[in-house]
Amino acid sequence: MEDQPRIHYVDALLQSLIRDADSAKERWALVPKHFKSAPPECRTLWTEVIFCFTFGQLFAALAVCGAFVEYFLERAIPAFCMRTGKNPVAIPDKLHDQIKLAASIDLISQDEGKLLQDFRKLIRNRFDHADIVAIANSLASIERVGIAWVEQGEVRIHFFSEDVLEGLRTVTIKERVEKATRILAPPVIRWVGNWAGDCSRKVWGPKLV
């Protein structure tokens, strides 16, 4: 039997995209796309989020989403100060402090600030820094595993040792990362897109008379 010719990696990728076309259309429809008033650099980063999310690169989509939020605030804070007549402020290096500053000048609400801090801790830090263990444990962590049996009418349980648990964690980490990423990506990216759209209209949209 003759060996089948090996398909080029790029061709295999294109074929997989064609097979995934219907779900890609569904993901495309989920992503907010309406903040044309934002600077082109912000729109370019968000386009990368849309591309990665649409074509199923969910880990990359969340990582770029973290970079987008940080860059967006770096541009929005000084523009908002200028628009509202506030004194110019120095932009902090860390996203934690940028979020606090944005709330203090009323660019974002206190509730938005809390949500963005959660986003920073649970999404941005983990995906931007590729903290695989933390991502895997986001929705499902393995803390105790044992074998149960009935002996003389009583249920007995033998719990595995920490060494065995660590082996199970290692074996399942890929599946747990994929599941967490798949569940987290749609609501997180949709919320960030809607938030950025509202915020950009507040900063760069038409002024209210």
Distances (CA, A) of 22 to 46, 165, 189: 22, 39, 19
| 1 pLDDT more than 60 | no
Q: Which of 23, 77, 52, 74 is nearest to 189 (CA)?
A: 52
Percent of the residues in the chain that have a pLDDT greater than 70, as a whole number:
76
The model's pLDDT over 87-136, given as tens digits with 9 standing for 90+, comes to 989 999 999 999 999 999 999 999 999 999 999 999 999 999 999 888 88
Token pair for 30: 């989920």
| 18 pLDDT more than 70 | no
Longest CA–CA span in the chain (Å) reads 82
| 165 pLDDT more than 60 | no
